[in-house]
Structure 1
Amino acid sequence: MMAIPVQAVGRSVIGLVVAGIVTALGLAFAYFAGINGKTAFGYPIFFVCAAVAFGVNWLAFIPAAIAQQEKYYDLVGSLTYLSIIAAACYLASPLDLRAMIVAAMVATWATRLGGFLFMRVGKTGGDSRFDKIKTNPTRFFTAWTLQALWATVSASAAIVIISSSERVEPEFFFWLGAAVWLAGFAIEVIADWQKSAFKDDPANKGKYITTGIWGWSQHPNYFGEITLWFGLLIMAWPLLSGTGFLVIASPVLIYLLLTKVSGVNLQDKQGDARWGDDAGYQAYRRNTSVLVPLPPKKG
């Protein structure tokens, strides 16, 4: 019988411990953020939705791990949002106008982005983020568990709105938040469309985009993503009290992850590796706003 290396066992145990901690944090966050809202099965509806998020990702992990394939990761991410929003709507019904509009917003965003990312992976043949972890079951499992946590926290303001035991007629925060969300969603959609069209043109093979909204921001899609979730937080503000204010973590977490962890930093490293010696690229990086769309600097 082949002996299993001690180091491999140790890494597997660590991976499972990390996944367990992530799960505990996600469920605890959902419990306390939703404790002032409606309940189902004796728990806050938000807690039940978080459990759904983890369940969806763990089920999807099984065939993905067997095939060592990440192709459906982002698609399952969108399905996670749709599942928890659907669960919240069902368990908290009847819904008021604010809740119905917020549910539609998240469903629209998840459907659009999930389809876009799935098609992008289909074009590129894979996702380089998973090259080193998809062959390691415990690390791969942790990635799926983290996706459930991401969905739980990022959608927290929306779920609190839907599951709130208090109903507030549309007022200043509702309209302001809706306007901010719409602006962020539009920027994200336009940025993705412009970059896809740029890459689909054979004449642009091996080039970097500096046109359209990308001439005003190096990462406009990330700015749009952060902005739309901030809009949902504004819409939720009149309904927050006590530990419900934990949902402030939604746009904050998204901002930190997209600017400090796996978004801007990763894209900039890849860009520097490909075009770091290109004077035009260096000028673009120097004169163009990193995140917030702003007129480019002169020179």
Structure 2
Amino acid sequence: MSKGASLGRIAVAYVVAFAAATAWLVVGPDTPWLWLDALIADVIATLLIFVASRLHANSSFYDAYWSVLPPYLALYWWIAGGQGIGDVRAWLILIVIVLWAVRLTGNWVYSFPGLHHEDWRYPMIRQQAGRHGTAADLVAIHLIPTFQVFLGLLPVYVALVRPARGIGWLDWLALVVGLGAVALELVADTQMHRFVRTRQPGQVMDQGLWGRSRHPNYLGEIGFWFSLALFGISASPHDWWWLPVGTLLMIAMFLGASIPMMEKRSLERRPTYQDVIDRVPKLVPGVRRRTSG
């Protein structure tokens, strides 16, 4: 199947999924909390994407959901929360989220070859689960990321729905952090795409941002979610103790799962990648792991 036809099928699945989510939010039974209404709609959309994934035997149907959901929920909370179109903090949040979503979705579209391809991690997860492969697909590949993104968006809920303080310096700091994170990811993506087009067999990426951090894209992703936490704290300072939980879970996922899996695969395919591990910090430039001896 061509890339265009593949993207068309994925787009149809997303239209159906978000139409169902919107129908729930508009005509479905209300709960006492807007966050719970949104979570139910989120799960409904996720389940429909899962159905499409299984019908096409390809869980990469879910990949773009990570980036298209946040603008949808933020816009819903803004409208349903009644803060009004003149809310400056809401505009700042939407600017950061939309730019992040456009960059991440665009990068996925650019890199996605078509439905003949599936993210290499997904078959591995299903195979490790054995006869419970379908359940692992639903939970590990679809539902857990959905809940993780939702937790990361709770500061946005607080900022857009609850009565909040007026805009302050922390909002502007959040804007700078968010825009900087998006710019970091954009530059890292551009450098990686250029490298992939010109690399020699066995060559590993250690140029530009990738020569200062082995995973600058993940560093930018962490910065984005941290900026959302800052917006939430600015709106509701007394909730500072729990609003960064989503960001901390993102960090745990990247450090505990995503990065180790990526680096193990890189070493298996290109043993010279060990030299990059020895020379380049894992995530934050200038911060290196201590070695014994």
Shorter-chain TM-score tier: 0.7 to 0.9
- Contact residue 52 and residue 84 of structure 1 kept, 8 A: no
Q: C-alpha displacement at 1:42, in angstroms?
A: 4.6
For the residue of structure 1 that corresponds to 2:64, the secondary structure is helix
Aligned position for 1:175: 172
Distance 2:174 2:71 in 1: 21
Aligned position for 1:102: 93
1:54 equivalent among 30, 43, 46? 43
TM alignment of 1:224-263, pairs within 5 A: 224-240=220-236, 245-261=241-257, 263=258
TM alignment of 1:30-45, pairs within 5 A: 41-45=30-34
For residue 291 of structure 1, what is the amino acid of its counterpart?
L
Q: C-alpha displacement at 1:81, in angstroms?
A: 2.0
- Contact residue 171 and residue 231 of structure 2 kept, 8 A: yes
Aligned position for 2:11: none
For the residue of structure 2 that corresponds to 1:109, the secondary structure is helix
Structure 1 segments unaligned to the other structure (5+ residues)? 1-39
Q: For 1:57-81, what per-residue CA distance to the aligned partner results, in whole angstroms no more than 9, with x for missing partners?
A: 1111112112211232112222322
For the residue of structure 1 that corresponds to 2:173, the secondary structure is helix
Of structures 1 and 2, the one scoring higher in RCO (CA 8 A, sep 6+) is 1
Aligned position for 1:188: 185
TM-score (norm: length of structure 2): 0.77
Aligned position for 2:18: none
Q: C-alpha displacement at 1:50, in angstroms?
A: 1.7
Aligned position for 2:143: 145
- Contact residue 50 and residue 84 of structure 1 kept, 8 A: no
Task: Name the % identity.
Answer: 20
Q: C-alpha displacement at 1:212, in angstroms?
A: 0.6
Q: Does 1:269 align with 2:264?
A: yes
Distance 1:79 1:248 in 2: 21
Give aligned pairs, total.
Answer: 251
Distance 2:74 2:234 in 1: 20
Distance 1:241 1:178 in 2: 17
CA 1:209–1:200 in 2, change beyond 3 Å: closer, same or farther? same
Q: For 1:138-157, what per-residue CA distance to the aligned partner results, in whole angstroms no more than 9, with x for missing partners?
A: 22211211121022012222
TM alignment of 1:7-156, pairs within 5 A: 41-93=30-82, 94-95=84-85, 96-122=87-113, 125-133=117-125, 136-142=133-139, 143-156=141-154
Distance 2:54 2:240 in 1: 36
TM-score (norm: length of structure 1): 0.76
CA 1:219–1:139 in 2, change beyond 3 Å: closer, same or farther? same
CA 1:243–1:181 in 2, change beyond 3 Å: closer, same or farther? closer
Distance 1:267 1:196 in 2: 17
Distance 1:125 1:205 in 2: 21
- Contact residue 56 and residue 80 of structure 1 kept, 8 A: no
Aligned position for 1:164: 162
Distance 2:287 2:68 in 1: 37
CA 1:282–1:204 in 2, change beyond 3 Å: closer, same or farther? same
- Contact residue 184 and residue 217 of structure 2 kept, 8 A: yes
Distance 1:159 1:192 in 2: 29
Q: C-alpha displacement at 1:119, in angstroms?
A: 3.1
Q: C-alpha displacement at 1:53, in angstroms?
A: 1.6
Q: C-alpha displacement at 1:86, in angstroms?
A: 2.4
Distance 1:295 1:48 in 2: 42
Distance 1:269 1:132 in 2: 13
Distance 1:243 1:177 in 2: 16
Provide the alpha-carbon RMSD of the alignment: 2.4
